[in-house]
Chain A
Amino acid sequence: MSDDRFEAIYRKHYARVWRYFRGNSISDDEAHDLAQDTFKRLYERMNQIRNDDPWPFLATIAKTILLNRVRARQTQKRNARMVEIDDPDLIFAEPAAAEEPDYADREAEELRRSRLRAAMESLPPGQRECQRLQLEGLQYDEIATTLGISIDAVKSRLRDAKQYLREQLGEKS
């Protein structure tokens, strides 16, 4: 593929790729870095493009880069350094903790949370997954994509889940 054609592809799709990264709460500058990385990989694999439209290939590269970035951060969190309780690094320059709630408040809080957890756990798995993903801020279409179901199915499961939780927790709709 000629450099002219690559430049045309770059100019046509750069903004779309950049907005894709920005849509994942990534800063302007880092989104530019990731977009450049996407096009660099495309440039190195131009001979693998099978048809005239490079977008599907470009989109897969962008998605791979995004997922790798998020996954690496998740793995880093899991592998964060363990510290001993008397480790001198185990000092956080944070303001003093708020005043502890009294015993009765703590007990009431634990009771509420255990009821909530029990109610969530007793949901059918499909409803519980939808409910948890919605708690994470995912939209209907994103939940549907994640679980491989239709948007209508997501709405239906969420409606049933909320109804069930209200009944279990004694809350009015």
Chain B
Amino acid sequence: MMNRSDWQAVRDAFIADDRAKLGEPPTVDELLAYERGELSREEAERVQQLLVAYPELARAYATPFPSDDDGALPDEVIDRQWSAFRAANSGGSGRRVLQFWRGLAAIAATVAIGFGAMLWTEHMERLLPRVLPEPAAELTPGGSRGLPGQPQTRITPSGDSVLVVVSLVGPIDYELYRLELVNNDSQKIIWTSEPLRAKSSRSFYVEIPSRILPDGTYEVAAYGLRGNAQEPVATYTIDVRRARAR
């Protein structure tokens, strides 16, 4: 006849052996999946073996929920617990507001990082050597070529930018010049240069990003600067037309 300690010793030995062989207890997710019948046969058998090896977990897993009729707690107990719950969780709306601002701050930080990265990339690109495009056109002042009132030069942008050469002609020399690019259709000034010192060639090389040059007619105006005054020196008309895809 076996005594109680014999059963206990054999039970302990079985558990120790099983745990050494099977490892950690099943996760809660595994147990819930097992309960819902979502595991394969092999996985379910493994969970069963683990439950036998971890009987405390098996007991918790198998504990049935009491029915509604199993007896209520006194009202004062429920009242006390409810008050405690409210006190501990009353900051719900405040927390939601805090979570909103935290979320917003996270988004702002992400945007800032992205924007910073773009700026940095652009900055680094500016530090690298760059091959300028071939001059698209050498501009001469209006009236020197073509019909009066008609665009003087046609440009067909094909890359990121177009390079135009603005040549000054005529006898008047200024120490400083300023250039302007105007959209003829909208009469909107697209770009105004800083004061430019004239070179011996009396030409300015202007690289214009293609994205600010939609198809249309533009005017490049050159002004001579004298003190605080500026005087028109020349205008150049360009017609921008992209090649149509065939």
Contact = CB atoms under 8 A, between A and B. Distances in A.
Interface in B57-84: 57-68, 70-73, 78, 81-82, 84
B89 A43 contact: yes
B95 to A, nearest CB: 10
B62 A14 contact: no
Contacts of B72: 15
Interface stretch (B8-16, B119-127, B197-205, B222-230): B8-16
Interface string B45-56: 000110110111
Contacts of B24: 75, 78
B132 interface: no
Interface in A142-173: 142-143, 145-148, 169, 171
A36 B88 CA distance: 10
Given A129-B52, A132-B52, A67 B57 contact: yes
Given A23-B63, A113-B6, A146-B51, A10 B27 contact: no
A14 B73 contact: yes
Contact of B65 (A11, A16, A142): A16
Nearest to A79: B24
B28 interface: yes
Q: Interface SS of chain A: helix, strand, loop or mixed?
A: helix
Contact of B66 (A14, A23, A109): A23
Contact of A70 (B7, B10, B14, B57): B57
A36 B84 contact: yes
Contacts of A43: 89, 92
A138 B73 contact: no
Contact of B28 (A24, A67, A137, A146): A67
A10 B83 CA distance: 11
B238 interface: no
Interface string A60-78: 1011101111110111001
B27 A71 contact: yes
* Residue from the set B32, B34, B81 with the largest chain A CB neighbour count within 10 Å: B81
A24 B1 CA distance: 33
Contact of A146 (B1, B48, B67): B48
A148 B43 CA distance: 13
A157 B136 CA distance: 94
Contacts of A141: 62, 64
Contact of A15 (B3, B44, B71): B71
A68 B52 CA distance: 17
A142 B63 contact: yes
Contacts of A60: 32
A40 B57 contact: no
Given A15-B72, A129-B48, A132-B14, A66 B82 contact: no
Interface in A103-118: 109, 112-113, 116-117
Given A16-B68, A120-B10, A142 B84 contact: no
B14 A15 contact: no
B55 A14 contact: no
Interface in B155-183: none
A20 interface: yes
Nearest to A117: B10
B92 to A, nearest CB: 7
12 contacts: A7-B82, A16-B67, A23-B66, A24-B60, A24-B63, A60-B32, A73-B56, A113-B9, A117-B14, A136-B58, A146-B58, A148-B44
Interface of B: 1-3, 6-7, 9-11, 13-14, 19, 24-28, 31-32, 34, 37, 44, 48-49, 51-52, 54-68, 70-73, 78, 81-82, 84-85, 88-89, 92
Interface of A: 7, 10-11, 14-16, 18-20, 23-24, 32, 35-36, 39-40, 43, 59-60, 62-64, 66-71, 73-75, 78, 109, 112-113, 116-117, 120, 129, 132-133, 135-138, 141-143, 145-148, 169, 171
